[in-house]
Amino acid sequence: MLGRPKTNSNTGEIVRKYPMTPEGHAKLQATLKNLIEVERPAAVKAIEVARAHGDLSENSEYDDAKERQGLIEARIRDYEAKLGLAQVIDPSTLSGDKVMFGAHVTMEDVDTDEELTYQLVGGEESDLKLGRVSVESPIGKALMGREVDDEVVFNVPRGRRTVVITEVEYK
């Protein structure tokens, strides 16, 4: 979550914002569109076909089709909620020396001298293979608010890792 959490004035519940880049927002919209326009109708059609086979009490095709439809509907609700609460942040409009959402952070591992570069993105966009880590991940949390030459320690599955930030860019 970025910044101070907002609360619903009627219920007092915390309203969670989902930070994402414009590209991540567009990808989530496209995925939702596919679920609604392609996956949902295909699930309905599969249920119709399975129903045509007769007795539903012993019809595994029908059970599978209903389960798939339920999963699709759950994903649609999830994506609609996230898009409704999206906080789209364009990193190219940002600048500065501090690590914030959207920053490309280059760092050097203190133990191995390995150079790493990650972009801090929202959870829906994170993909370590592409060098995109969530601001809510251990490394994302550790980097937020830091600056060039800061030493940062964070936990990874293989133990603790220490890096020194060498560059912060917004592009």
| 22-88, CATH topology level | Helix Hairpins (1.10.287)
Answer whether residue 99 shows pLDDT above 90: yes
CATH number of 91-169: 3.10.50.30
φ, ψ for residue 99 (rounded to 5)? -75, 120
Helix residue ranges per DSSP H, 21-130: 22-34, 40-51, 60-84
* pLDDT tens figures, 14-52: 667 889 999 999 999 999 999 999 999 999 999 998 888
pLDDT of amino acid 4? 45
pLDDT of amino acid 59? 74
Any residues with CB less than 8 A from the CB of 138 and at least 6 apart, and which? 154, 155, 156
**73: its two tokens:** 């509907």
Q: Contact 101/87 with Cβ under 8 angstroms?
A: no
Predicted confidence band of residue 11 (pLDDT cuts 50, 70, 90): low
* pLDDT tens figures, 120-142: 999 889 999 999 999 999 999 99
Q: Which of 95, 109, 119, 107 is nearest to 149 (CA)?
A: 107
**Spatial separation of the C-alpha atoms in residues 1 and 104, rounded to whole Å:** 18
Q: Contact 66/100 with Cβ under 8 angstroms?
A: no
Give CATH 3.10.50.30 domain extents, the chain.
91-169
Answer whether residue 9 shows pLDDT above 90: no
Give CATH 1.10.287.180 domain extents, the chain.
22-88
* pLDDT tens figures, 46-92: 999 888 877 666 778 888 999 999 999 999 999 999 999 999 999 99
Q: Contact 170/95 with Cβ under 8 angstroms?
A: yes
Would you call 141 helix, strand, or coil by DSSP? helix
